[in-house]
Structures are given as structure tokens and as C-alpha cells.
Amino acid sequence: MLPNIFLPEITTEFIRRINSLTGNEMPLWGKMNVGQMLSHCCLPYQQILGENTDRPPFIMRVLMQRFFRKAMTNDQPYRKNLSTGPTFIRTGMHDVSEERQRLISYVEAIERLGPERLANIPSLSLGQLSAAEWSNMLYKHLDHHLRQFGV
């Protein structure tokens, strides 16, 4: 069972890990640098909060809901070097300090939102999710990328 992202102690631990990034870390796998990773990790929160409404094409949503939903929302950690959806790829320069603060504010916002309200917001890719599915997906995505940079 994965930790519950709605608990203050989980938010605090994520913030500690995010703040421990200096920007000089090299990825243990993958192609992103720290700034790109932090920007990438902001995207699910931006979608939840309605700041980013870019939906995958219809056929991609069907495939994701049918074949990837369980793997994305269960309590098994993501494997290293998984493919990243095109709308989630971040290139170019991203200011680490700026992206760090944005990500922290999003993590805090989701904790404040709470499980009941989050469960009423459909995923742009996977459709309606339970609070537990949202918690698993958000926890394991952020944990995966923080581990990618050794924190």
C-alpha cells in the first residue's frame, strides 16, 4: 500500500525531498535534467486544477483507460525508463527554483483539496478515478521522479 498523499506528513516529506534538490543532480535514468523533471511533475497537478486542459487524442485516451489505467493507479512503483506521453515531455531550460516552488505549491494544494473533492475531478487521460487511485498515481509519479534524481 502506497502512502496517502492527503496526509500532512506525506506532503511534508515530499517537500523535504523536493527542497533537497540543488539542480546539479544527474539522473540515475532517463533524459530529463532537474528543472525539466520538476516542470514535468507539475503537469498532473495543473491538469487537476484546470490550469492545463490539454487532453490526449481520443484514441490515446481509450488505450490509456483500457490498458494502462491499472498500472498507473495501482500500488506498484513505476519501472525505470518508461515512455513519457508527448504532452508530458519537457525540453529546454526550466528554472529549478521556480519549478521547485510551483511543484511544492501544487503538492500542498492537492492535500488541501482532499480526497473527496479530488475524486470528483476526472483525469484528462484516464477518466473518473477514486481518491485512492488519484493518491496512488500522484504519489508514485512524484516518488518515481524524485528517486530518479536520488532523493
- Angle 69-4-40 from CA coordinates, rounded to 5°: 60
Interval 123-141: pLDDT, tens: 999 999 999 999 999 999 9
Cα–Cα distance for residue pair 109/72, rounded to 1 Å: 21
Backbone angles phi, psi at 112, to 5 degrees: -65, -35
State the average pLDDT for the chain.
Answer: 94
Q: 3-class DSSP state for residue 127? A: strand
Q: 3-class DSSP state for residue 123? A: strand
Distance of CA 88 to the CA centre of its chain: 10
- State the pLDDT confidence band at 61, using cuts at 50, 70 and 90: confident
pLDDT higher than threshold 90 for residue 147: yes
Structural domains in the chain, CATH included, are 8-148 (1.20.120)
pLDDT higher than threshold 80 for residue 25: yes
- Given this model, what pLDDT does residue 63 score? 87
54 against 150, higher pLDDT: 150
pLDDT higher than threshold 80 for residue 151: yes
pTM of the full structure: 0.93
Instruction: Reduce the secondary structure of 26-47 to three states and give it as a string.
Output: CCCCCCCCHHHHHHHHHHHHHH
- Given this model, what pLDDT does residue 93 score? 94
